[in-house]
Structure 1
Amino acid sequence: MQLFNQPELRKPGFRLAFCACLVAVIVLGMGVFTRLADAGLGCPDWPGCYGHILWPNEEHEVARANEAFPHAPVEHDKTWPEMIHRYLATSLGLFTIALLVLAVRHRGPQQPLKLPIFLLGFIILQGMFGMWTVTLKLWPQVVTAHLLGGFTTLSLLWLLTLRLNNHRWQVPAIGEARLRSLRRFAVVALVVVTAQIALGGWTTSNYAAIACPDFPHCQGAWLPPMDFASGFNIGQHVGPNYLGGIMDNDARVAIHVSHRIGAIFTAIVLLFMFVRLRGLGHMAANRMSWVLLVVLIGQILLGVSNIVFSFPIAVAVAHNLVGALLLLVVVSANYFLFTAEVNRGGVRL
C-alpha cells in the first residue's frame, strides 16, 4: 500500500503537517498520562503553575505556593506532567500557525486553505478546554470534550497530511459500484469509532475504568448492579473537585460495561469493513484492510490487558494511543475511498 507520494508530487507543507502529526501524538500521549496519573490538577492555576512559568522547585517557592494554594499543596510528581503537556500543546498551536502561513503563501485551487484555518480555530478552542479542565476542577463533561478534541486535532492534522501528500487510489471500473457502497459504510465506521472513543473518554473522566476489575465478568457477574441514569447524566452540575470521581459504584459499573459493549459493537463493524475493503478488488485497499485488522486486534488485546494486569499506566496510555491509530486508519480509509478515481482501463494501483 503506497501511502506517501513521490516528494516532487506532494504539495507545499507536507513535511510540516507530518511533523505536526507526530507532535500531536506526543501531546495526546502526554495528556493521557497526565490524566491517568491524577495530575490533571497538578497545577491548580492556569496558564502558569502556582504562579510560575514552569513549576515551583526551590524550598521557599514550594512553601509560598502551599501558602497561596492551601487546598492543593505542591506534588512534584504531578506538576511537571501537567506543565510539559501544556507547553507541548502550545507548540502544536505554533505548528498550525505555520501551516496556515504556508497555505496562504501557496494559495491555489489545489492547496488546502479552509482546513488549516479550521485547524487553527480548533486548536484555540482546544486550549480553552484545557483551561476549563483546570478551572472547573476536572468536570467530566469538559475532560471528555478535551480528550475528544485531542483525537480530533490529530485526525484533522492527519487528514491535512493526506491531502498535501496528493495521492489517490485508482479503482478499476468493475469496482465502481462497490466503491460507492463502501464509502457509505466507511462513514458509519468512522462514526462508530468516534462514539467508542467518546465512551472511553467518559469512562476515564469518571474514573470508571477500575469499576470492573475482572474479565470477562464484571464484579463476578455478567450483569452486575448498574445505574445508567446516574452514569450517563451529562447534565450533572460542577462540583468542588472531581479528582477521583464522585459517582457511586453502580453508576461507574454502568459506564464501564457500556464501554465493553461498545468495544464489541465497534469490533464487529470494523471486521465488516475489513471484509468490504478486501471485496473492493484493489491492492491498496487489501493492504489497508490488513492494517485495520492488525490495529483492531492490538487495541482489543490492550483493552483486555488493562483489566487483567490491573490497569498499569503504560498499558492504559498504549490503549489510548492505539485507539488513536485505529481512528487514523479509518480516517485514511475514508479519505482514499472518497478521493478514489475510477480507472476505466481497469488497471489496479
Structure 2
Amino acid sequence: MTQGFRRLVFMSALLAALVVTLGAYTRLSNAGLGCPDWPGCYGFLTVPNESHELMSAQQKFPGAEVHQKKAWIEMIHRYFAGSLGLIVAAIFFMALRYSSANKNIKGLSGLLVVLIIFQAMLGMWTVTMNLQPLVVMGHLLGGFTILSLLTLLWLKARQPAAVPIAHVAGLRFLTLAVLLILILQIALGGWLAANYAAPHCRGLPLCENGELFSLSSLFQLPHSSASYEFGVLPFETRLSIHLVHRIWAMVTLCAILLLSWRLYRAIPDKRVRAVIMLPAILVLCQVLLGGAIVHWQFPLLLTLFHNVMAALLLLSMVRVCYLLFYQSKE
C-alpha cells in the first residue's frame, strides 16, 4: 500500500482514540443527554445560543432546558465521530482502488465501514432511548472495536520487517483466551459505567457494604424508564456489578502477567519482548489507577484516564496478537 494510505489509516486510528476519549468524557460528565435529539442539537447543527434559537428550542422541546456546556460536550463528540466516519469511508475506497491491496485489507476496510454505520445508529439510540444501559454499553464497545480494527489495519498496511517468531503455536490459544478475558473486563467496565455503579462500591479492596453482594442480582436488567440517566438499578445490584468488575480485574491482571511471562520465555528477540511486556506494564498501572480512583472517590479526570488506559491495554494486546498470528506467518 502507498505511504498516503498508511498515513491516512494512522491518522484515523489517532482520531478514533480521540473519539473514544471524548465519548468517555461525555459519559462521565453526564452530558449524554446534553442534546435531546440526533444528529443535531435542539434542531440545529450547533448548540443554540441566540435568543431566537433558544425560543425555537423551547418550542420543539417543551420543558427542556438548554445546558450550554453539556450540549457542546456532546456536539464536539459528534463532530469528531462524524469526521472519523468520513475518513474510514475514504480508507475503504482507497483500498478498493489499489489493486495491490490484499484481500485482508479490503475486507477489514469494508468491515470498518459497516461498524461505523452501526456505531452511528447506537449513538442515535443512546439519545432517543435516554441512555438505555445496554445501548450505552454497546456504544462503548463499538468504539473500542473500531479503534482496535483501525490499529490492526495500520499494522497490516505498514508491512514492517519480518521478525522471527518460533515455538509459539501452543501459546496462540492462551493469547486469544487472555484477549477474551480483557474484552470481558472492558465490557464489565462499560456495564458499570452505563448503570452509574462506580460510587456504589467504596472501600478497598472490597466494598464497604460487601454483605449486600448478590450474584442473582447481576442478571437483573434495568426496568423500563422514561430516562436512565444516573441509573435505575437497585443499590445492591450496582454494588454487585462494581464488585464483579474488581474481581475480574484481578483475573485479567493474573492472565496478562502469565501470558507475558510465557511469551517472554518463548521468544528471545528483544524487539518482540518489548511488545509482549507492554500489556503487563499497562495492566499493572491500570489496577493501581483503579485503586487510586476509589481511594480519592472517583475524580473525573482520573476516571477518564482509566478509560484511556483500558483502550491502550486493548491495543497492546491487539499488537501482541498481530505478532503471533499474522507477522509470524508472513
- Asked whether the two chains share a fold, i.e. TM above 0.5, the reply is yes
Identity of aligned residues (%): 39
Q: Normalising by the residue count of structure 1, what TM-score does the alignment of the two structures yield?
A: 0.89
Report runs of 4+ in structure 1 exceeding 6 Å deviation. Answer: none
Aligned position for 2:180: 191
Could you tell me how far apart the structure 2 residues matched to 1:335 and 1:72 are? Answer: 48
2:153 matches 1:160: yes
Match of 2:197 in 1: 208
Quick one: distance in 2 between partners of 1:227 and 1:242? Answer: 22
Over 3 Å counting, the alpha-carbon distance change for 1:168 and 1:229 in structure 2 is: farther
Aligned position for 2:212: 225
Q: Deviation per CA, 1:136-161, whole angstroms, max 9, x where unpaired? A: 11000000000000000000000000
Deviation track 1:89-122 (CA, whole Å, cap 9, x = no partner) reads 0000011111011101112363610000010011
CA distance in 1, matches of 2:217, 2:67: 32
What residue in structure 1 maps to residue 289 of structure 2?
302
Contact 2:213 2:240 in 1 (8 A): yes
Gaps of 5+ in 2: none
Bigger helix share = 2
Of structures 1 and 2, the one scoring higher in RCO (CA 8 A, sep 6+) is 1
- Asked if residue 287 in structure 1 is aligned to residue 274 in structure 2, the reply is yes
Q: Contact 2:178–2:259 at 8 Å: present in 1 too?
A: yes
Contact 1:10 1:166 in 2 (8 A): no
Determine the C-alpha separation between the residues in 1 that align with 2:136 and 2:329.
43
Q: Return 5+ residue gaps in structure 1 as ranges.
A: 1-8, 344-349
Q: Partner residue of 2:325? A: 338
1:269 Cα deviation from its structure 2 partner:
0.3
Instruction: Report the RMSD for the aligned CA atoms in angstroms.
Output: 1.9
1:225-261 CA distance string (max 9 Å, x none): 0234334334x45421000111111000000000001
Q: State whether structure 2 residue 112 is matched by structure 1 residue 119.
A: yes
Paired residues of 1:230 and 1:247 also in contact (CA < 8 A):
no
8 Å Cα contact 2:35-2:41 kept in structure 1: yes
Equivalents in 1 of 2:180, 2:232: separation in Å? 30
Tell me how far apart the structure 1 counterparts of residues 37 and 215 of structure 2 sit (CA, whole Å). Answer: 33
One-letter amino acid matched to 2:22: M
Which TM-score applies when normalising by structure 2? 0.94
Aligned twin of 2:144: 151
Structure-2 separation of matches of 1:183 and 1:258: 27
Counterpart mapping for 1:125-144 below 5 A: 125-144=118-137
Q: Contact 1:278–1:286 at 8 Å: present in 2 too?
A: yes
